[in-house]
Structure 1
Amino acid sequence: MKKGHRAIFKKNSARLLDMWSGEEEFGRPLGCVTTSFTFDAELFEEQCLARFLSIQSNPNESTKAYLVEREDKLSQCFACVLVDLAHAAPDRSLRWNLLPVTLPRGGVLHAKLTLLVWENCIRVLIGSANLSEPGYRRNQEVMAALDFGQQDNPPPELLKQCVKFLDRVRSFAPGYGRKDSGPQFALKIFLDSIELRATKLPAAEKMDAECALISLVPGGVSVVEQLRELWKGPAPDQAWVLSPFFDKDQQASVTAASFAGLLTLRGERLVTFTAPGVYLAGGTLQIDAPQSLKQTSHPSLEHAFSIVQQRFDVDGKEQDRALHAKSVWLERDGRALYMIGSSNFTAAGLGLHPRHNIELNVAYLIKDCTSQFGKLCSQSWPPEESLDDLEGVLFLTGQKDSAENPDAPLLPGAFGLALFDAQGGRLELEVGENAPPTFEVFSKEGNSLLDAASWLRDGKQKIVVIPWEDKRPPSSLEVRWQEVDRGECTAKWVVNVADMSALPPPDELGSLTLAELMEILTSARPLHEVVVRILERRKKNDLGATIEIDPHKKVDTSQYLLRRMRRVAQALEGMRERLQQPVGFTEALRWRLRGPIGPIALARRLSEEDPDGAAFMITEVATTLSEVQWRPLGSLGKSGVTVEVVETLRELQKLATKASAPSGLAKYVRASFKELLK
């Protein structure tokens, strides 16, 4: 049996953020869903989503341009993050959903899975990196990227399994089973559309390796047992484990013994543990692994160790690059199984503890380690230093797994889905019967919204409705309650949105005049560039130019009717082109129809600023809308488009008939809408 370590051919590295960028042939982005243990909302929005949506503006250079472009592109794309409750971000844009996950029997959401969906491709990312600055910018991580398109696909069954896994994960988040609105309802529709696409993918072509998911969910099979079932032929005689975290003290040797059961029972066997390491002052070598791993569970079993350095010279400067990758390599007679993903080498990470985590890994069955694919897999293992002599090596004890529950109190499970209804101007708060006997819910500004006394007085309502008058919607609330051991506890309660299309637009888009709106619709430049130009012009006017106050004079009604019609016709053509772009889900369609640069907004501006011609012009808006050649994608079908368009036409009808008009014109308006709505 070969002793020592597999050869490292060369370091294979890439920028993880680049994985979020699509190719031109992928088409328009439709949506994404991702899971993480720790989470940085700013990184997700300004780096990950920015690449996925191809956002060009930089928030550090032009905040207004970024806000407008983000609003425009996020309104057309579904985005959802499932994150462990302990790390749910209280402050974020409400244009994407955030679902905190809690496992009732213990353990944490530790899986790192991302699905990026474009028109012509679905990319699956499975790895070790959390959606955080260290995970995506500094740590040594490992990630698998699987692209599902029209050719050269991995097995479509893998994509279906990812959808099934996400559906299981979301069952531990608030609002599961809700079938009318909200983040869970939207996520289910999105996942269903991915599963439907998976059924239409061509079968996978033969490759140098088979690929399989190794998932760990409550009530499921352990990672060790899944590896045993996946391995074909005589059991492996060598194993390499890469992990930044291990169980504490003696429990680590128990976990190692369970893992060693994967190896052959005959002859010599070797398990090599690769962990973070550092040379201390005086030359002592420290390895971040427990001393108990030096003990083996059988005389024929040998344990070896190697370290991965965490400080590197980058352009003449030493930088920390913490090891966070997790991998397992099993080998025998030139065949191998290589697993990468989120599972640390702990009982909770491998499913060897009753209160284990939710984890996700991907395993490759490599037929020939010397093949091109086998070498590529080998290259993803970080450079390591073998410890041939353990004399004087300092092993750590009492090490804490990064996925252990934090000391800070978690929001009690009785506080379920907090939903903001922008149309109704209200909050809907789910409160279970097992709520703490003493609690109070506050807004971010410190205003009391609900307390235990009023909740009890009103009969322990499962859904408490609270009017919301503030112009700014809440992204989180604060809950305070009492516990016997801790006294007063505080935690954030994440708020999601019932219908994102009803969210108020940024001030930069909500205050557009008719002339400015038509300028946007007739421009070939990106929306955010035109809006910034308008804002700069406003600023110049504020500094000295005379501004017309009377809104009736903002449109030059002294011009001939033909000229006015030409301007509106150009704007309507721009509106038509915008509406005819592919659209992937209902909320995106609603935003196009009812958002700040849609037909409803244009009609309202016509009513306010050009009342004499509003009836006729709004009828032209409706006619243009009825002639749009829609391109629904994803979960949005033609029938769904028809429902929304008809409702919009009815709103336009109300605005047109309400506008003053001569009897002949009024008759024309009524007849036109009767024809459009039949």
Structure 2
Amino acid sequence: MAKKKALQPGVGKLLDAWVPPDEAGDAIGCIATSFTFNAAFFEEECLGSFIGLETNPTDDGPAYLIEREDKLAKLACAAVLVDAHHCRGTRSLRWDLMPARLPGIQHAKVTLLVWSGWVRLIIGSANLTEDGYRRNLEVFGVLDYFDGGEAPIGCLTETLGFLRRASSYSRPSSGSVTPAAKRWDDLIERVEKDCADWGVAAADLKRSGVRVHPLFIEPNQGKAKSCFAQLVSLWPGSSPALSADVVSPFFDPPEAANQPASEIWELLRKRGEVSVGFHVTAEDCFDAASVDVGKVLLHAPESLTKSAPRDSATVEMLRVMPPDGRPLHAKGIWLEDDRWLIYQIGSSNFTSPGTGLGKRSNLEANLVYVIDGKRAAKSRKAADLAFPKSESVGEDEQRWKPLPSEDGEGDLLQKTLPVCFGDAVFSIDSNAGPIVTLEFTSSQVPAFSIDAEGVKGAWFDSVRWAASGSPMRMELPWSLSRPPSGFDVRLESDTATSWWPVNVASPDALPPPDELKDLPLEVLLEILSSARPPHVTIRRFLKQQAKIDSAGNVTAVDPHKRVDTSGFLLQRTRRLSWALRTIRERVQRPAATVEMLRWRLLGPVGVLGLADAIIREAKSPDESNFLLAELTLELSRVKVQHMLGCIPPKQHREEIQKVIEALRTRVMHTNEGGPVNLNQYVQSVFEAVKS
């Protein structure tokens, strides 16, 4: 289990920022954005830290699946917006994967973590990959919001607006709202409502020695919204800065006019001595056959050195010396004079698309720290620690070996689907069962075939789509037990495939893991009456059901066949009665999300899971009816208390009433014949608890 660690300014581990603070409360939801992406890393490491998983998939197997299901099912939203070129990966449908398709690329790296008493905003340079979080030299900023906190509330508000706009690039058409996008928007709306009074207002920030502002780059906004224009507006001094330092692993290609290199000088004073330092990665030239042996190959274009506008403006090239030889992936712009310092960190490379210049801007997110060196010496020191250490490279040593652009076509993992392919959604139809709905935004779709994991041959193709009349919405039955997390789509004669992510219409449509299906009543009673997490009880139960052969090998068997339930209810009536009271206490606890409450009520280890186990294992319909009536009585006695950050008591009670009606239906199915007095008792219970 990940333990809480203090987030120290200057240097830290990014994954630690996903661990909830002690005062955070229940996990409600998280949304994140990334350029490149690793689904397994995000699910196991990032989400695992956020929800506090105590198990891991390598060592704990079924227990991990059970705990993951139990905790993810309680979230209102868990979603990632990824550039369409990298948006793929097998995953749990408990979280949404949303492809961003835009003229440039989705390059922002923003994470919003929401607990019932705490909101954490992370903006930085790291993609949601193992390299980004464990290997590269990255930079990130963390802002915490809670009642009485001092983080700038305007920064959170502006970022929420950016995230709402960013998700629009995942929608098949303008104004459309997919199920995943609605969950994304609903979480943002909840944060806007719950956190309106958290943090410090802009007027109060003027007295602070440190101010923080978001800086976003979005497509089609023009030069007036470039990072340079925004930095000019944020500079607090009465005259422009004296010097600038730029750190970036990527730049405009050598053959292009280097617009960012020209614009950086516009941030500095127009007279007197000024300087710009470019901090880049480099390598030594060891090729004995080269005339440049012993020189330094700078991973940057030579045009940087030729950008100085006058003789009193100087350019310095510096070689970043990352600790432990880590690859540089951090990006930043540093401006300062004798008093003030501005440090921009985030996703923006020093390229035209990354800084908002030119016709094809990216989607980028940055934080700008404005520091008064006279009033915030500690913050100034922390900024120094966060800036990569470098050493100057003399002009006679400089040779040039630019890296391919990070957002160049050669680096992209997959082809993107044409915009005519809309949303793919998994759901459960009450009559047809599991279905996958494919949406198309146009009748003009290129020839395609769709492959699904576990299905031989093409699962669906354009021939069958055309034969169905080329509908904008195609509903297809899904016969496999595991819902699909996405499809490989091959267009016409292309050899490469594109990934079409599948999201779920509603979390209620997802089947539980096999380990949670039809659990024996004995196990459910232990789970519901125990203070231990469910996965601990089930893991012990599964171990007990393993059969050891004469050679000492352990072979798993069907756990339900290993449980002798004969006489079970009669022997354990007292325990069952006590468990019912415990269930009432569990159900009436305030719930941070409606999903959390529904998992308690409708989940496989919830109230209806217990009711179904009672029906399966009762010796007669009479016993089943009596115990379901007792369960209903306990639910009717629930007293819900109002708690800030939780769903309202009225909604809480409405969800409970739905379960009572479901129990009534189960009794009606089995309540045929039997003792008159028992039938009268059961009937009287349900009459008394009518809504």
Per the alignment, residue 53 of structure 2 pairs with: 55
Per the alignment, residue 317 of structure 1 pairs with: none
Contact conserved, 1:514 with 1:602, CA < 8 A, in 2? yes
Contact conserved, 1:436 with 1:481, CA < 8 A, in 2? no
The correspondence of residues 197-276 of structure 1 with structure 2, limited to 5 A, is 197-204=194-201, 206-220=207-221, 221-232=225-236, 233-251=238-256, 253-276=258-281
Per the alignment, residue 156 of structure 1 pairs with: 153
For 1:102, the aligned partner's letter is R
- Shift of the alpha carbon at 1:541? 8.4
**Match among 638, 643, 648 for residue 659 of structure 2:** 648
Per the alignment, residue 671 of structure 1 pairs with: 684
CA distance in 2, matches of 1:657, 1:61: 45
- Shift of the alpha carbon at 1:311? 6.5
For 1:429, the aligned partner's letter is L
**Paired residue secondary structure (1:613):** helix
* 2:22 pairs with 1:24: yes
CA distance in 1, matches of 2:648, 2:489: 41
536-545 vs 208-217, which moves further: 536-545
Contact conserved, 1:116 with 1:123, CA < 8 A, in 2? yes
Per the alignment, residue 87 of structure 2 pairs with: 88
- Shift of the alpha carbon at 1:58? 2.3
Contact conserved, 1:580 with 1:628, CA < 8 A, in 2? yes
CA distance in 2, matches of 1:322, 1:556: 65
The one-character-per-residue Cα deviations of 1:589-636 (angstroms, maximum 9, x if unpaired) are: 322211111111111111121033111111121222233344677584
CA 1:223/1:306 → structure 2, altered by over 3 Å: closer, same or farther?
same
The correspondence of residues 351-370 of structure 1 with structure 2, limited to 5 A, is 351-368=356-373
CA 1:579/1:642 → structure 2, altered by over 3 Å: closer, same or farther?
closer
CA distance in 1, matches of 2:443, 2:242: 52
Per the alignment, residue 376 of structure 1 pairs with: 382
- Shift of the alpha carbon at 1:400? 1.8
- Shift of the alpha carbon at 1:189? 1.1
**Paired residue secondary structure (1:465):** strand
For 2:38, the aligned partner's letter is D
For 1:198, the aligned partner's letter is C
504-513 vs 638-647, which moves further: 638-647
- Shift of the alpha carbon at 1:80? 0.9
* 2:601 pairs with 1:593: yes
- Shift of the alpha carbon at 1:138? 0.7
- Shift of the alpha carbon at 1:366? 1.2
**Match among 546, 556, 577 for residue 567 of structure 2:** 556
CA distance in 2, matches of 1:24, 1:125: 18
**Paired residue secondary structure (1:144):** strand
CA distance in 2, matches of 1:329, 1:365: 10
Per the alignment, residue 4 of structure 2 pairs with: none
**Paired residue secondary structure (2:195):** helix
- Shift of the alpha carbon at 1:545? 13
Contact conserved, 1:81 with 1:97, CA < 8 A, in 2? yes
**Match among 110, 123, 128 for residue 107 of structure 2:** 110
Contact conserved, 2:28 with 2:592, CA < 8 A, in 1? yes
CA 1:649/1:178 → structure 2, altered by over 3 Å: closer, same or farther?
farther
CA 1:581/1:17 → structure 2, altered by over 3 Å: closer, same or farther?
farther
* 2:48 pairs with 1:41: no
- Shift of the alpha carbon at 1:428? 0.8
Contact conserved, 2:425 with 2:505, CA < 8 A, in 1? yes
CA 1:524/1:11 → structure 2, altered by over 3 Å: closer, same or farther?
closer
CA distance in 1, matches of 2:556, 2:350: 69
Contact conserved, 2:220 with 2:361, CA < 8 A, in 1? no
CA distance in 2, matches of 1:583, 1:595: 15
Alignment root-mean-square deviation, CA: 2.6
- Shift of the alpha carbon at 1:322? 0.3
- Shift of the alpha carbon at 1:235? 1.2
For 1:306, the aligned partner's letter is L
CA distance in 2, matches of 1:277, 1:212: 32
The one-character-per-residue Cα deviations of 1:372-408 (angstroms, maximum 9, x if unpaired) are: 1111111111111112x211322124x3221234454
* 2:103 pairs with 1:97: no
- Shift of the alpha carbon at 1:297? 4.4
- Shift of the alpha carbon at 1:71? 0.9
CA distance in 1, matches of 2:556, 2:294: 73
For 1:327, the aligned partner's letter is G
Contact conserved, 2:34 with 2:108, CA < 8 A, in 1? yes
Structure 2: gaps (5+ residues): 1-7, 287-292
CA distance in 1, matches of 2:66, 2:114: 23
The correspondence of residues 238-637 of structure 1 with structure 2, limited to 5 A, is 238-251=243-256, 253-281=258-286, 282-299=293-310, 300-310=312-322, 312=324, 320-368=325-373, 371-387=377-393, 389-397=394-402, 399-405=403-409, 406=411, 408-423=414-429, 424-433=433-442, 435-444=444-453, 445-482=455-492, 487-540=494-547, 554-557=565-568, 559=570, 564-610=572-618, 611=620, 612-630=622-640, 634=645, 636-637=647-648
Per the alignment, residue 289 of structure 2 pairs with: none
CA distance in 1, matches of 2:171, 2:679: 51
CA 1:345/1:252 → structure 2, altered by over 3 Å: closer, same or farther?
farther
Contact conserved, 2:88 with 2:501, CA < 8 A, in 1? yes
**Match among 10, 13, 16 for residue 11 of structure 2:** 13
The one-character-per-residue Cα deviations of 1:454-512 (angstroms, maximum 9, x if unpaired) are: 323333311110011211110111211126xxx45421110011111331111111131
Contact conserved, 1:252 with 1:346, CA < 8 A, in 2? no
**Paired residue secondary structure (1:56):** coil
Per the alignment, residue 127 of structure 1 pairs with: 124
Contact conserved, 1:170 with 1:176, CA < 8 A, in 2? no
* Alignment TM-score, normalising by the size of structure 2: 0.89
Contact conserved, 2:145 with 2:199, CA < 8 A, in 1? no
- Shift of the alpha carbon at 1:637? 3.6
CA distance in 2, matches of 1:207, 1:171: 35
Per the alignment, residue 290 of structure 2 pairs with: none
CA 1:34/1:471 → structure 2, altered by over 3 Å: closer, same or farther?
same
For 1:532, the aligned partner's letter is R
Per the alignment, residue 5 of structure 1 pairs with: none
* Alignment TM-score, normalising by the size of structure 1: 0.91
For 1:322, the aligned partner's letter is P
CA 1:181/1:580 → structure 2, altered by over 3 Å: closer, same or farther?
farther
**Paired residue secondary structure (1:382):** coil
Per the alignment, residue 658 of structure 1 pairs with: 669
532-541 vs 190-199, which moves further: 532-541
CA distance in 2, matches of 1:174, 1:242: 34
CA 1:13/1:557 → structure 2, altered by over 3 Å: closer, same or farther?
closer
* 2:134 pairs with 1:137: yes
Structure 1: gaps (5+ residues): 1-9, 313-319
CA distance in 2, matches of 1:513, 1:501: 22
**Paired residue secondary structure (1:520):** helix
Contact conserved, 2:32 with 2:80, CA < 8 A, in 1? yes
